[in-house]
Chains A and B, each alone.
Chain A
Amino acid sequence: QLQLQESGPGLVKPSETLSLTCTVSGGSISSGLYYWGWIRQPPGKGLEYIGSTYYSGNSFYNPSLKSRVTILVDTSKNQFSLKLSSVTAADTAVYYCARHVPEVAAGTDYFDYWGQGTLVTVSS
C-alpha cells in the first residue's frame, strides 16, 4: 500500500522559506508512471493546488505561487520536497503531498494517494 508522509518545521518566520519533505513508501517515485504534487488548505478555507513534479525533475506550478515555489525530487531517498520563499501569514496552512495520476494514464488528472497533511504556521 502506497503511503506518503509530510515532514518539516511547523513554524516559519515571515519572509523566510518554508521547506517540507514528502517521503513515499510502498512504491517508487522513479516508476515514471506518476507525478508527485503538493496541495494546501489554509485554516477555514478551501484546497489550493501548489504544483507537481516528475521523477526526472520536470515541474509545473500554480501561476499564483510560481515566483516563490520550487518542487524538487530526490529519487535516491524516494522523496520530493516543497520550498516556498518569502512566506507571509497568508501561507499558513495544512500542506498535503499527493500522488498525481496524469491524464495520459486515466483520461484525466487526479490525486489518488495523499499524506495526512502537516500544519505550517507563519508567525514571528
Chain B
Amino acid sequence: DIQMTQSPSSLSASVGDRVTITCRASQSISTHLNWYQHKPGKAPKVLIYGTSSLQSGVPSRFSGSGSGTDFTLTISSLQPEDFATYYCQQSYTSPFTFGPGTRVDIK
C-alpha cells in the first residue's frame, strides 16, 4: 500500500493567516491526490481533487499543488469556518490511502 504522511500534524493560526499543509506519498502518485476537510460530528468534505482542481462550491482561498510524491494544500486567508482537520488521500492505486490528518486550531 502507498503510505501517506502529512506535516505538520497540527498547527495554530489566526484568522487571516496564510496556511500551508504538506502531504507526502511513499511513491510517486502522479497528480492523483485529493484533500478533505473534516469537522467533528460532520461529514468530511472534499476540497481539492486531482491535486489542484477545486471542488464545486469550495471557496477559492483553498488551492492545491504538487506532483509525484510532494503535495501542498494552501489556505490563502484563514477564515473562522476553516478550523478543522485536513486529510490528503491518494487515488493512484487501490487501496486508496489517507494521510493521518492535520488539525488546524485557533491561535
Contact = CB atoms under 8 A, between A and B. Distances in A.
A103 B97 CA distance: 16
Interface in B33-68: 33-34, 36, 41-46, 49-50, 53, 55
B80 interface: no
Given A103-B91, A106-B49, A117 B43 contact: yes
B43 A106 contact: no
Contact of A46 (B41, B91, B98): B98
Chain A residues touching B, range: 20 to 34
A64 B100 CA distance: 18
B43 A46 contact: no
A108 B99 contact: no
Contact of B46 (A47, A112, A117): A112
Interface residues of B, number: 27
Interface of B: 1, 31-34, 36, 41-46, 49-50, 53, 55, 87, 89, 91, 94-101
21 contacts: A46-B99, A47-B87, A49-B94, A49-B96, A49-B97, A64-B95, A98-B44, A103-B91, A107-B50, A107-B53, A108-B31, A109-B91, A110-B34, A110-B46, A110-B49, A111-B89, A113-B43, A114-B43, A115-B43, A116-B41, A116-B43
Given A46-B100, A47-B87, A108-B32, 15 more contacts: A4-B43, A47-B44, A49-B96, A49-B97, A49-B98, A62-B95, A64-B1, A106-B53, A107-B53, A108-B31, A108-B50, A109-B32, A110-B46, A111-B89, A114-B45
